[in-house]
Structure 1
Amino acid sequence: MSQMDEFSVEIDDKIDNNNDVHNVHNDKIDVGNNKPHNGKPITKIEVSPNEKYLVTYSGEDNSIVGWNVDNDEDEGLLKDCHFPFNSPIQFSLIQICVSDDKKLVYIGHEGIYDMMNYQKIKLDCGVYNNYAYCTFNLEGNLILYYNDVESAIIFFYSAQAEKTVLKCERMYKMPKNIKDYIFISISKYDKLYLLSNNSIYEWNIVTEKRTKLIVIDEEIKYKDTRISSNEDFVCLKIKNKIIIYSVELEIPIASLDINNVIQLRKFAKHPVLCFLLFPLLLPLLNDNIPSSNGYWGTIMRNRRKKFWSKLQISNNIKATNKYIFGALDADIWKIDLKEIIQNITSSYKNFNELNSDNPGELNFDEFIENSMVIKEEILYFDNDFKFDEKINMVYDHLHVLLLNSYTETIRVLSQDIDSNVLETRNVFEQNSIKWHIYNSHQEKTINLHVFKKNNDNDEWNLICTRVEKFEIARPTLLKIKLFGDSYIILITRLGPLIYHFNESDRSISLIYFYYIYLSNKEIIPHYKKVYSKSTLPLPNYESFKYNDNWVLDAKHNKEILLKYGVELLTFAIKEHKLELIDEIYKECINYFKQDLKNNRMFLSVITSTLPLLNEYYPEYILRYSLDTTMIIDSPSFRIEYPNSNLHLFSFLYPQIINITHSILWFKYNILMRRIYNNHKILFAIIIFIQFLVILLTFPVYFAIFYLLSKYNYINDISESDMFSIYFIIPDIITSKFSKRLTTPTIIFMNPFINFVTYPKDYNWLSELIWPQSSPFVKTVNRDIYKTWSGESLINFKWNNYGKHYYAIIWIGFMAFLGCFTAAATIPHIDDNIRNKLLISSIVLGVIHLSFEIRQMIYDFNKWIHDFWNLFDVIAYVLPIFTSIIWLQSKYSNILVSQFSFDQHTNNDDPNNPWNLVTTYYQVFENGTVNPNPYIIQPPNGNTNMFVDFRTAIFAMYKFLTGDSSALSNWSYTDNPSLAIMIVLFSLLIVVYLMNLFIGLLNNAIEKDNDRVSYLVQKAEILAEIELFYLLPHQRRWYTWFPDVIYYYANVDKSREKIKEMNDKGEWKTNEFPELRKNLMEKLNIQLINETSLQNILAEIQEMKQKLQ
């Protein structure tokens, strides 16, 4: 490993506030004698995460200036402080960032400073001086990214620490093959972005969730990529394309050409969409867009201030959620983002106003080709600004993303509802589009008509119609709200409906419907309750049941199917609509097939409803398992050559490791490095002592360090002492005494997307009693585990947490059994010790019993039908009950036989060995027998083998083998219960179980079925652990319950598996023909399927006919 460089982290008290840092509060930037950066141009701009503070850097002046964002100035910012670098050598500043509380971090010149008091801040894990990236998140925590040739580390420093010291809370280590990953950036939303194999990944630093954002067919380089993101979207600039990725849907939903100004302007048509995407798109528009006629020039040319017309993209521009900041010379100016968006979107309204004054003289295209009047100014557009059908299609794909933005509108409209006053207005006009909406109460319909104005004759022409029929009641209109000319919200007594008008294909589609049928008095309170959250509730079962058109719209729209497909498929299954089930299944498979790289989330629509399919139509589970076995979410498969056997080993990609537990180890290495640099002799003494410790305790040392390394309490990031030799020993042994053989391994994607995840919203207390379940828990079906997908899923769960909890459960039960057995069977034991053992038995028994009770409450019918659950309860209750009685009555000493093998013990206990041994009585001459024994054979440990726990176990073993001599000392006539137990035990064990085992061994049971039964049993154990042994927040850990899992497979075993499935007729190539073809080419397999054989047979028969 590379050696860590020493990084000065002491507080720099030598900074002179009068000379080195100039406090210039309340000085305006236009004061000529005090120009920021001494009038030199600004080269970098950074804004704090919550947009409260801004810093600029000037390369020519070699200084940093802080600016107050929150001020009363109209557009100019107030300079807050001046921070010059006094180094005589010009250095290259790689990056700067600043927090809301004015903590300044800059890479390229060592230092983290608090600009409030101009002190250097200490990092408790700060040892590097070549960080590659720095940023503050929304909570003010500092995130640093370090990268060298061999390793990359992410440091997460808390903002809640001391003012002069930042404490490292978390650490993460990038994969060993770091060369395969290219770092892009880290956002203020705790998202890390990586580039690998022409794919861009997002990794959440807090939740550790991994997401593959997009896969590009062509080769991508770091310089070709830029990313801008918020909580809803990720915009990725790749060369000349901007790809918009939906965080909610987890798919790319639009692709834009940055050179196509028409396409970019199309987003301005809708105010909500413009407000959502404009701050993200603007930073990605670089100087390859001509400012004179490009998108930026169009936006900025109407500004009142003359300096905005000079501001170009090539200068420093920063767009945030509230403002746009621009650097002009050494000044910083800002503009309210809402004002820009209002100016853009108002162009459509102004067109209508102009056209109403001059009817028939102006059309929209001519207006766009020339100008748009905004207030008292003109915003010019290029002559090529025409909306074509392709651009409209891109725009229409985004409408489903706007649904949540209408939540507040529905909430406001519902507050204004008067159940006795109906909506009287039924004509709504916007731009050149007019909507006409009315009820037909007799037919229970809502009629929607859309008209477009003909500018030649000033007439309205009907272009599309939609009739919405409801099967249950009259959809009385209560409120109507039009958004732009394409969206309209209807509030009815049956619930809210949102419609979208698609001008390109002249159609009206329903994009949201939530069924609510309430009386007049209940409408307003229920609307408030349902729409109290920031997102729209998912469509309910009744919305699909009472509106067939809603089913058709949801089924045929790609984005709506992904968003509401689970609810739609659930409705189809419960209503037994077999045709609809098959259509949804095929639609999801086809969408994934069309774009393997980016559409894998469509498979989650199927996997999320597997519990219902298992209940009603289990054949779909086998169909899905066989259709999707051995697939990957990329155009081709990749073969790797690891040094170990990783067959069916599951993993997450990218494989970023949480090494937070090793922070103490990391600090220890920092200390050792400092001792080495400053105290050579002391360091040599410590190394010698460590060497002696290793030499004297090598097996123990190696075992301890193996466990610590396995669970990431230590790592090989830095090797600064003798103890770190542990990381070198395995490599030395392997290189000297073994040959490193690589195993060709192929990577597959597990198709059970979102199958193991739990709902994110939960109540902690209610989860302890009635835990929410995942599809995995609800679906225990053998067909899932007939393929490698199911087995790799079980392996992932078992290796991550299953085996650990399973061992803990058994250890706990053995402790419970051991405590009670020791208290009950050891004859000579101190009363205090026995009482402690009994109390421990009660505590452990209650803990085990509580888990059993939770299972009973969760699903009583399932629990009561499992015989072993009753057995478990008896095993817990009897020892608990007995222990309580013994503790209360102090009667346990009577239950234990009091006897000695050395002295005769005379009591009435029939189990006393002295009462079981052979005795001889004296017979008198008159024939009478002396009642007292004359000769007694001394007993031994074999007389009553059940008085000792060890011999009792051996007696049981002998009885299993058919030897009942251990019970021969008792008279069966005097002990009828013993005779009955012997008969029952013989029937159960000897007759039934032994013959069953012999029958199982003799039966020709297929090997796969044995394996499947084992996996099913393992799945049931894992489901029980998840629900009743994991805490609620643990069930939401992404590293344990991810949405997408990948697994390795041995190439040779993959070849065998494919041939085996082909022989059984299970290898299907019709669903993913290209992917299957690529796989068989990678594995060098040539299969002759049934179709090929039929074709050959047909050719032979045809040849025979010709010969005849």
Structure 2
Amino acid sequence: MSQTDEITVDINEKINNDIQNDKNDFHNGKPITMIEVSPNEKYFVTYSQEDNSIVGWNVEDVEKEPEFCFDDIYDLKQMCVSDDKNLAYITNDYLLKILIYPKTEFKFNDKMIGFRYCTFNLKGELILLHKYYGDATIRTYSYSQTKSNWSCKKTYMIPNEYNDYIRLIYVSKYDKLYLFSNNSIYEIDLITEKSIRIWIIEQDVKKNRKFYEDIGDIKISSNEKFICTRFKNEIIIYSIELEIPVASFDINNDIQIRRLMKHPTLCSQLFPLLFPLFSDISDDKFLDSITKNYWKKCLEHLNQNDHFSEKFPNNIQATKKYALRVLDGNILKIDFEELITKINLLPKNSDMVNEDSFKTNEKANKMYDYLHILLLNSYMETIRKLFQKANQEFVTQEFGDNLVKWRINFNYYTNYRVIALQVCKRENVNNEWDLICLRYEKFKMDHDLKPLGIELFNESDIIILTNIGPLIYHFNEDAKSISLVYYYYIKIDIDTPAQFTVQKQNCAKEFSRNNLPLPNYTSFEFCDGWISDVIDNKESLLKYGVELLQFAIINHKFELVEEIYKKCISHFKKDFKNKMFFSIITSTMPLLNEYYPEYIERYSSDTTMIVDSSRYTIDYQDHDLHLFSFQHPQILVNLTKSVLWIRYNLLTKLLSELYYFKVVKYFSRHKIAKNTPMIIFMNPYIKFVNYPREYKWYKELLYKPQPSPFVKTINRDIYKTWNGEALVNFKWDTFGKYYYALIWIGYMAFLGCFTTAATIPQQYIDEGDRRRLLIASIVLGFIHLSFEIRQMIYDFNTWIHDFWNLFDVIAYVLPILTSIRWLHTNEMNLTPTNEMNIIPLLSFSCLFLDIKFLLFFRAIEYFGVYFAIIVSVGKQIISFLEYTSNDDPNNPWNVANSYQVFYENGTLNPNPYIIQPPSENTNMFIDFRSSLFAMYKSLTGDSSALSNWTYTNNPSLAILIVLFSLLVVVYLMNLFIGLLNSAIEKDNDRVSYLVQKAEIIAEIELFYLLPFQRRWYNWFPDVTYYFANVDKTREKIKEMINNREWNTDEFPELRKALVKKLNIKLTPYEKLQEKEN
């Protein structure tokens, strides 16, 4: 490491005061053992184990007197402080003590022991981790000033059976719980109950006891954007927005970290997060080099006061502005802003850069660019100022400092416009400018493209505001390239000053939020370079990929659709932690289903039976949980509504333990445990069930709710695999079956009221009771009808083409009208006319109500499979029942029986005839309805409909009868039987049943759940996993290989690992089939 890379910071009198031993005097000359900071970084407290005292300081005014002090603090193990100066600490005996400012010791109401961790959140609430007799609980307490007590607001429990595989790490001030489970580190939001996996450790921890013990050394630091995790010598930076790891570092490679610290944008964002991760490393080159100059000054000062020590400090707490480090029993306060300024002044081409290989540099450069994409929201204020200062007459010029310069030019051509960007650099102010890189941005447009303002954010980033929106470019000096990292199309009329001012203000509102708006359709349409940059940058693709894929699908850009699909699969293939790239495909499935449905079948085939790690996991369960879905980790149980039950449970815990050891364990010795091996798969339909986070409740509730991709995509190919079935099972078990039961019960109340009123004779029911039942029927009918009306308003075209929707309306409307008419007439049989009006209405109302009741059974698997077969077969043979026009010329008068008339003298009357008048049954073929019935009678053996014609005089009729019998009776009847058998075979795979069950769940989600319920993470998680029975999985894989459905093109290594894990011995024929697939 060169000497030029040392960080030197002048320690003025103020900083000198920060390290003077006055801090030490407040602990009676004893060294400081521990330091903690309040959630909003207002105060920090120091603890001296030798002095048994705690002193509190204002972070901004360290040089002043301490704010508060607590004495006689013994056996302290861990402590925390709130922004209200309240203090909580846990003793070595795992007892909790709370000190209320100024100096009041508060006695906790819950008489418990076994506290393991405590912290205050941003709201001033106290979060406690408690473990006693196996079960671990996480509780949130709120302090009431008026009642002077702490009340429990939320309670979560980790069941005892999970404790052997779980290590609690800590709880952050953002109400986030961090824990280790199943080879992974998870973050669980205690408010939304959303869990995300931030790190996968590719080792079998259960077999490596030493490795499992090292988990206690995990360090985590987080803010609103990133989670930084250190385990042993590795640091992982996880993006909260993208939900993927975006960078990794080796703490022993201080060159790699120092390169990051020299990045002008990343340094200020990540430095406060990375700094605390080195708190327990006593010999770290990076940390010691940063504080080296501080340390030298402090040693000199302490030596003068007989507090000299060569030992480096290792207790660190960081705020957004400062780092507080225990310095040999004292406090060293480091100003981040001043330190980062010194870091940015370090030379970029120092000796340490040359020590890395080109390959390492190239990888690091890409990593820095990936991180840079995630910090674009920090430019919001700059963009807003650009809109305020936007000028129609803005003239481009050179931008930069004495060493780096940007040149921007706008060029105009016939059918397109071009922005030319140049970056120049020189070694010193006396040298000539050298062109480093050049980029031409082409826009497919024929109207004016003019700059309205340009701002150089730093030497690497420039923001260009034009009349078609803002563009942000990033210059990578090591790669010598310029990339477009953000473009949002928004048209600003520059023709008239008044219009320009109004539109400028309207456009500024688009950027009034905290985050940059997502790129729109037109931005991709105008600029092909923007498309290329999004695809080539991993983080940009994950951030803007959904919008880009939607653009490609709508514009029928098949090559672009294929490229994005392959990119998403490729990113996951390279790193299984990149599973969120699947969300780009699943979020656009409604459009794929409409334009390119073959991609849904392809995706279902490519992603069946996969996991998001390099190893498959087999768990042994007490029950067969085949296709049972769950979220990772499945450990937290929300017991917030059961606080009283928890207290009761704690009181009876000892008795329960005694009962278990004496009774249950005795019988368990004689019981044969039945463990079923279950393999765990990841469901690749990521974010497929999620609803938009932003919504208007009145619009969702009254007019048109926003759908999820699951609701808009009903495709059979999804449910042909276990992934689709597991997804339906998860929704059904989570909320679907409960809401369906409530709907069914509500309908049964409607059915019961109307049927009771309509069928019970008058002598057995009071007229007043009947009227009340009819009124209840009307009310319940309108309630059910209102949900049908909402469906009609939501999508009338889809609703009208579903026969069952029309049937439902009849089942609701007919009883309502019948009840209203009955109440109006007040008598069922007042007159014969009235009887003819009411009785048929009652009959058909009861008929439709009963059929509707039977239709509810279609959600039950046993009945639903057969119902799906009946409906599917009916759809296939309905074409044979098409209406045909009747052009038969036979006149019924010509085929009617005739009689001759004789006079009394016996002579025959030659003219008059006594003719039997024909009836409607004389010739049944003049009407389509009666002709169908005539043919039915003929098929059953009754030929009376054809007996009015003589076959000898009508040979054509005889031929037609023969042909009809051969065609219909012999051929078509047998054909129908064959079609029925094939249709039953085809639909007996339960796919149709799963599709109709998915439709039922989609209807429940949109029209029965409340808007906020559709945003619950535990009901609509981003990622789910599911169990699969090992034996059934083996059979399924062999079946797929024989049917040539086992796809090994995309994930061959995972397929081989699965076959090996399940110990599947393939026959030579199956091996050949697998290779062909």
Taking a change above 3 Å as real, the CA distance of residues 996 and 523 of structure 1, as seen in their structure-2 partners, is: farther
Shift of 1:478: 1.4
CA distance in 1 between partners of 2:935 and 2:715 (Å): 30
Tell me if 1:99 matches 2:99: no
| Partner of residue 700, structure 2 | 767
Taking a change above 3 Å as real, the CA distance of residues 996 and 246 of structure 1, as seen in their structure-2 partners, is: farther
Any idea what SS the aligned residue of 2:27 has? helix
Shift of 1:406: 1.0
| Partner of residue 560, structure 1 | 540
2:280 touches 2:315 (CA, 8 Å); kept in 1?
Answer: no
Taking a change above 3 Å as real, the CA distance of residues 782 and 84 of structure 1, as seen in their structure-2 partners, is: same
2:778 touches 2:819 (CA, 8 Å); kept in 1?
Answer: yes
Code of the aligned partner of 2:688: F
Code of the aligned partner of 1:405: S
2:24 touches 2:330 (CA, 8 Å); kept in 1?
Answer: no
1:107-149 deviation line (CA, Å, top 9, x unaligned):
116343243253343545x242121111111111111112356
| Partner of residue 881, structure 2 | none
Out of 606, 630, 643, the position equivalent to 2:609 is: 630
Taking a change above 3 Å as real, the CA distance of residues 1095 and 207 of structure 1, as seen in their structure-2 partners, is: closer
1:426 touches 1:436 (CA, 8 Å); kept in 2?
Answer: yes
Out of 287, 298, 301, the position equivalent to 2:290 is: 298
Taking a change above 3 Å as real, the CA distance of residues 774 and 911 of structure 1, as seen in their structure-2 partners, is: closer
Code of the aligned partner of 1:214: W
Taking a change above 3 Å as real, the CA distance of residues 501 and 908 of structure 1, as seen in their structure-2 partners, is: closer
Code of the aligned partner of 1:281: L
2:113 touches 2:132 (CA, 8 Å); kept in 1?
Answer: no
CA distance in 2 between partners of 1:946 and 1:570 (Å): 52
Matches within 5 A, 1:35-50: 35-50=25-40
CA distance in 1 between partners of 2:23 and 2:686 (Å): 64
Tell me if 1:246 matches 2:239: yes
Shift of 1:856: 0.9
Matches within 5 A, 1:716-865: 718=653, 739-768=672-701, 769-826=703-760, 827=762, 828-865=764-801
| Partner of residue 1063, structure 2 | 1084
Shift of 1:162: 5.5
* Count of aligned pairs: 919
Code of the aligned partner of 2:72: F
1:264-311 deviation line (CA, Å, top 9, x unaligned):
2223334442221111111012354647x6444435626997579879
Tell me if 1:266 matches 2:247: no
| Partner of residue 525, structure 1 | 505
Out of 69, 77, 81, the position equivalent to 2:68 is: 81
1:750 touches 1:1045 (CA, 8 Å); kept in 2?
Answer: yes
CA distance in 1 between partners of 2:932 and 2:48 (Å): 90
Shift of 1:627: 0.5
Shift of 1:602: 0.9
Shift of 1:328: 4.4
1:765-818 deviation line (CA, Å, top 9, x unaligned):
111121111111111000000000111011100101111111111111110121
Tell me if 1:314 matches 2:293: no
| Partner of residue 67, structure 1 | 57
Out of 396, 405, 419, the position equivalent to 1:434 is: 405
Taking a change above 3 Å as real, the CA distance of residues 1000 and 721 of structure 1, as seen in their structure-2 partners, is: farther
| Partner of residue 463, structure 1 | 436
Out of 501, 510, 526, the position equivalent to 2:475 is: 501
Higher alpha-carbon deviation: 523-532 or 620-629: 523-532
Any idea what SS the aligned residue of 2:533 has? helix
Shift of 1:69: 3.5
Shift of 1:625: 0.4
| Partner of residue 895, structure 1 | 828
Shift of 1:228: 0.5
Taking a change above 3 Å as real, the CA distance of residues 949 and 593 of structure 1, as seen in their structure-2 partners, is: closer
2:184 touches 2:197 (CA, 8 Å); kept in 1?
Answer: yes
2:275 touches 2:287 (CA, 8 Å); kept in 1?
Answer: no
CA distance in 2 between partners of 1:41 and 1:995 (Å): 97
| Partner of residue 1030, structure 2 | 1051
Matches within 5 A, 1:95-244: 95-108=78-91, 110-124=95-109, 126-148=110-132, 150-159=134-143, 164-175=148-159, 176-218=161-203, 220=211, 221-244=214-237
Tell me if 1:516 matches 2:490: yes
CA distance in 2 between partners of 1:866 and 1:984 (Å): 29
Code of the aligned partner of 2:116: A
Any idea what SS the aligned residue of 1:582 has? helix
2:267 touches 2:340 (CA, 8 Å); kept in 1?
Answer: yes
Shift of 1:78: 2.8
Tell me if 1:876 matches 2:812: yes
TM-score w.r.t. the length of structure 1 is 0.76
Unaligned runs of 5+ in 2: 1-16, 206-210, 303-308, 495-499, 855-918, 921-926, 941-972
Any idea what SS the aligned residue of 1:861 has? helix
Any idea what SS the aligned residue of 1:263 has? helix
Code of the aligned partner of 1:868: W
Shift of 1:428: 1.7
CA distance in 1 between partners of 2:975 and 2:770 (Å): 41
Any idea what SS the aligned residue of 1:467 has? strand
CA distance in 2 between partners of 1:255 and 1:1041 (Å): 30
Code of the aligned partner of 1:667: R
CA distance in 2 between partners of 1:866 and 1:116 (Å): 67
CA distance in 2 between partners of 1:984 and 1:667 (Å): 78
CA distance in 1 between partners of 2:705 and 2:935 (Å): 38
Shift of 1:839: 3.1
Code of the aligned partner of 1:795: N
2:282 touches 2:314 (CA, 8 Å); kept in 1?
Answer: no
Code of the aligned partner of 1:264: I
| Partner of residue 878, structure 2 | none
Shift of 1:1001: 6.0
1:717-749 deviation line (CA, Å, top 9, x unaligned):
x36589x9899999888776x632211111110
Unaligned runs of 5+ in 1: 1-26, 352-363, 370-380, 674-717, 898-906, 917-944, 958-971, 974-979, 1098-1108
Shift of 1:989: 14
Out of 31, 46, 63, the position equivalent to 1:56 is: 46
Taking a change above 3 Å as real, the CA distance of residues 31 and 606 of structure 1, as seen in their structure-2 partners, is: closer
Shift of 1:518: 2.6
Percent identity of equivalent pairs: 53
Code of the aligned partner of 1:561: L
Shift of 1:201: 1.0
Any idea what SS the aligned residue of 2:621 has? coil
Shift of 1:1073: 1.0
Shift of 1:840: 2.3
Code of the aligned partner of 2:564: I
CA distance in 2 between partners of 1:1035 and 1:466 (Å): 46
Any idea what SS the aligned residue of 1:1005 has? helix
1:266 touches 1:395 (CA, 8 Å); kept in 2?
Answer: no
Shift of 1:821: 2.4
Taking a change above 3 Å as real, the CA distance of residues 1010 and 1070 of structure 1, as seen in their structure-2 partners, is: closer
Higher alpha-carbon deviation: 528-537 or 725-734: 725-734
Shift of 1:1023: 0.5
2:814 touches 2:845 (CA, 8 Å); kept in 1?
Answer: no
CA distance in 1 between partners of 2:189 and 2:1075 (Å): 55
Shift of 1:434: 1.9
Shift of 1:382: 13
CA distance in 1 between partners of 2:936 and 2:809 (Å): 22
Tell me if 1:612 matches 2:548: no
Tell me if 1:416 matches 2:389: yes
TM-score w.r.t. the length of structure 2 is 0.78
CA distance in 2 between partners of 1:300 and 1:506 (Å): 33
CA distance in 2 between partners of 1:767 and 1:840 (Å): 28
Taking a change above 3 Å as real, the CA distance of residues 466 and 34 of structure 1, as seen in their structure-2 partners, is: closer
